[in-house]
Amino acid sequence: MSATRETERYTVADKAKWSVWSIFQTWEVILLTLLVFVFIVNSNTSPYFLNTYNLADATFNFSEKAIIALPMALVIIMRDIDISVASIIALCSMLMGLGAEAGIGVPGLIMIGLAGGVAAGMFNGFLVTGLGLPAIVVTIGTFTLFRGIAYVVLGDGAVTTYPAGLRFFGQGYVFGIIPFEFILFLLLAMVFGVLLHFTVIGRRIYAIGNNPIAARFTGIAVNRYRFVAFCLVGMMAGLAAVLLTSRIGSTRPNIALGWELEIITMVVLGGVNILGGSGTIPGVVIAVLLVGMVTFGFGLLNIPGIIMTVFIGSLLIITISIPILVQRLRDRARLRAQQAEVGTD
């Protein structure tokens, strides 16, 4: 046994070495391949799938969730999570309902929805960063609290008197065929993509996710970033509330029940590490489309929703476990190699 081993000095490259093969190994490409596969399977199993109008209309079913998935990715990359998003939708929709009953017009209702979302996000953000509580605990609490408020206010009643002008946001089309909601999602995806991948802010978000303490020592205002991310999630949940309320023209306290898990599924499936530190917006966008198209394809075959849930759940478990298993195998291989090296000395 040698007591010391010579270690070569190493250099840290600005970027990882680029090769064609590395592109094929990225999560986005794997997802994209899956998406193409789903398109092929769906087109072969249902004659109604490859129809421009049907595909465009199918985006109604996931656009609102997808919009929340974008800021959720930032939150998860920074090692936090927000379980309360669907409850924020219920809260905002309830506030919009009260506004509509008071005779407030369309711009006012939209402002109410967005402001309500930001306020809810600020509340979450304050509890997490101001009081230093774990995000999962805080948002499980507000998950009950926000929807609870909607239940207290609305009881078993509903608000169904929204101005006709509100309908466009959730039911309208752009260019006569593409739902407005989907266009809005694509625009927001670009904004979030640029923010995360082409700005200093984005680099800092990754830095916080990889090591919040080191990030703090380099002068990044870690808590401010986390706080703003919660506000962004709240705002997008408020926006989703505007869209959903507009789409169904009605508010009940059980609106958007269970959406938080679907949204988090989209984010994690998109390659965002649930432990923080990595993930991309293009990955999330492809995952959104993948989940949307799988769900639509199943729907066209009239496969019961429960089977769909089982499928998506399995997909999620596989997604989370594969990187961890691969890492573990690599670690083991490296250890073995080291031991072999030590043995030959």
Q: Which amino acid is at 275?
A: L
Q: Of the listed pieces 18-26, 215-223, 267-275, 296-304, which binds other proteins according to CB under 8 A?
A: 296-304
Q: Which stretch binds other proteins (CB under 8 A): 182-190, 244-252, 266-274, 331-339?
A: 244-252
**Nearest in space to 87 (alpha carbons), one of 68, 60, 74, 63:** 68
What's the CA gap between 271 and 279, in Å, rounded?
5
What's the rounded Cα separation, in Å, for the pair 284 and 66? 9
> Which of these segments, 33-41, 185-193, 214-222, 248-256, binds other proteins (CB under 8 A)?
248-256
Identity of the amino acid at 84: S
Task: Select the span of 69-77, 154-162, 317-325, 334-342 touching other proteins (CB under 8 A).
Answer: 154-162
Handedness of CA 140, 146, 151, 152 (dihedral sign): positive
- Looking at the Cβ atoms of 39 and 60, the one nearer to other proteins is 60
For the CB of residue 305, give the shortest distance to other proteins in the complex, in Å.
4
| Distance between CA atoms of residues 38 and 42, nearest Å | 6
| 307: contact with other proteins by CB under 8 A | yes
Q: Does residue 258 bind other proteins (CB under 8 A)?
A: yes
Asked if 172 interacts with other proteins (CB under 8 A), we say: no
Q: Could you say whether residue 39 binds other proteins (CB under 8 A)?
A: no
- How many residues bind other proteins, per CB under 8 A? 40
Between 255 and 315, CB nearer to other proteins: 255
Q: What CA–CA distance (Å, rounded) separates 254 from 308? A: 21
Q: Which helix (H) or strand (E) holds 124?
A: helix 106-125
Residue 158 interacts with other proteins (CB under 8 A): yes or no? yes
Minimum CB–partner distance for residue 59 and other proteins (Å)? 10
167 binds other proteins (CB under 8 A): yes
* 254 touches other proteins by CB under 8 A: yes
Burial of 273 (0-12, 13-18, 19+ CB in 10 A): middle
> Is residue 147 within the footprint of other proteins (CB under 8 A)?
no
Q: How far is the CB of 298 from other proteins (least distance, A)?
A: 9
243: which 2 tokens?
Answer: 């869209």
Query: Could you write out the DSSP letters of every residue in 171-232?
Result: H-EETTTEEHHHHHHHHHHHHHHHHHHSSHHHHHHHHHHH-HHHHHHTT--HHHHHHHHHHH
Kindly state whether residue 296 participates in binding other proteins, applying the rule CB under 8 A. yes
273 near other proteins, judged by CB under 8 A: no
Q: Does 160 bind other proteins (CB under 8 A)?
A: yes
Q: Does the protein bind other proteins through residue 308 (CB under 8 A)? A: yes
Interaction between residue 323 and other proteins (CB under 8 A)? no
What's the Cα-to-Cα distance from 4 to each of 7, 149, 334, 342, 345, rounded to whole Å?
9, 65, 19, 10, 11
- 163 lies in the binding site for other proteins (CB under 8 A): no
Beta-bridged to residue 174, according to DSSP, are: 178
- Can you read off the two tokens belonging to residue 189? 């995806």
- Give min distance, CB of 309 to other proteins, in A: 5
User: DSSP letters along 283-332, please?
Assistant: HHHHHHHHHHHHHHHHHHTT--HHHHHHHHHHHHHHHHHHHHHHHHHHHH
**Residue that has been written with the tokens 């898990």 in this structure:** 261
Among 108, 148, 299, 323, the residue binding other proteins under the rule CB under 8 A is 299
Question: Binding mask 44-83 vs other proteins (x if CB under 8 A, - otherwise)?
Answer: --x-x--x--x--xx-xx----------------------
**3-state DSSP assignment of residue 164:** helix
Per CB under 8 A, residues contacting other proteins are 46, 48, 51, 54, 57-58, 60-61, 151, 155-156, 158, 160, 167, 171, 244, 247-250, 252-258, 295-296, 299-309
